[in-house]
Amino acid sequence: MAEKRLSHAYMLVGPEGPERDAAARRLAAALLCPAEDAPCGVCRDCRKVLGGVHPDVSRVGREQGEKERRGQILVGQIRAMTADAALAPNEAARKVYIIDEAERMNPQAQNALLKALEDPPGHACFILCAAAADGLLPTVRSRCVRGTDPARRTTRTEGMSELARAYLEAAASGDRAQIALCCMSRAGLSREQTEAFAGEVKDAVCAALAGRLDGFGLTERQLLALAALMDKTEDYLRHNVQPKQIFGMLAAETLR
Ligand SMILES: [Zn+2]
């Protein structure tokens, strides 16, 4: 199996709740699933991650016990997490740490996390879930892959919306988890926005095929596959499929 190109840290920004929770699990499954088309949803790793019982997926959240410190994730929790991260995985090839309400880390905790992000053990991946990215230190944010991180802008994309550009960059990265994250973060778009998204991606892909835009490092075959996928998206919209389902389809089928 070809080594999947994956990052060590991802940020999932959105309101707290079952949807963000499910998105974090799917992302963790994408990181641990050994299948080429991860997350396959059916292998032992996927089933355990999605069921919340995988021994290589840990969750870190705020302490409820101590009265005066209630509501914060403390440096001791992050240190315990990074100490655990240094140990080899139990079953999978990687270990994943999901930090719930990452914006609740106090500054000391964030600085401890930053050290782990700067020099992560080879098998450790971190998923930071936050209601808003600006609750995190810029140094922490810049270490995380996020669908819409302007620092990752690498190609000529004047006039293209952030939504379309980030999707194409995720596709070009070849990182299944990044693709999944990017699609998940668009599941809340309206029908009109989804239509505009598909149109923009298709325009960019066609421009790249015609040599009018650099192709994000995508091959001609990949560009053609993306154009076909946007046709399918438009077809789904015509049949009143909800954007949420459409982005689920895109997460599963982008450059498979
Ligand atoms: Zn799997």
Res. 149: pLDDT tops 90: no
**Claim to verify: residue 176 and residue 127 sit in the same structural domain:** no
CA of 31 relative to ligand 1 center, distance in Å: 9
CA of 32 relative to ligand 1 center, distance in Å: 7
| Helix/strand/coil for 255 | coil
Of 146, 167, 198, which residue sits at a domain end? 146
Other Cβ atoms less than 10 A from the Cβ of 125: the count is: 24
**Claim to verify: residue 104 and residue 47 sit in the same structural domain:** yes
CA of 50 relative to ligand 1 center, distance in Å: 10
User: Do residues 92 and 49 touch, judged by C-beta distance below 8 A?
Assistant: no
**Claim to verify: residue 136 and residue 12 sit in the same structural domain:** yes
CA of 94 relative to ligand 1 center, distance in Å: 13
CA of 193 relative to ligand 1 center, distance in Å: 31
Of 88, 118, 146, which residue sits at a domain end? 146
Of 146, 171, 190, which residue sits at a domain end? 146
Res. 153: pLDDT tops 60: no
User: Do residues 155 and 55 touch, judged by C-beta distance below 8 A?
Assistant: no
* Residue owning tokens 């802008």: 153
**Claim to verify: residue 36 and residue 93 sit in the same structural domain:** yes
User: Do residues 27 and 10 touch, judged by C-beta distance below 8 A?
Assistant: yes
Tens-place pLDDT, residues 116-133? 999 888 899 999 999 888
CA of 53 relative to ligand 1 center, distance in Å: 14
pLDDT attached to residue 156:
44
Q: Where are the beta strands (DSSP E) in the chain?
A: 9-13, 57-60, 95-99, 124-130
DSSP 2-60: PPP---SEEEEES-SSHHHHHHHHHHHHHHH--STTS--SSSHHHHHHHTT--TTEEEE
**Claim to verify: residue 236 and residue 172 sit in the same structural domain:** yes
Query: Does the predicted model carry a pTM greater than 0.85?
Result: no
Q: Where are the beta strands (DSSP E) in 90-200?
A: 95-99, 124-130
For residue 107, name the pLDDT band (cuts at 50, 70, 90): very high
Element (H, E) at 148: none
CA of 83 relative to ligand 1 center, distance in Å: 27
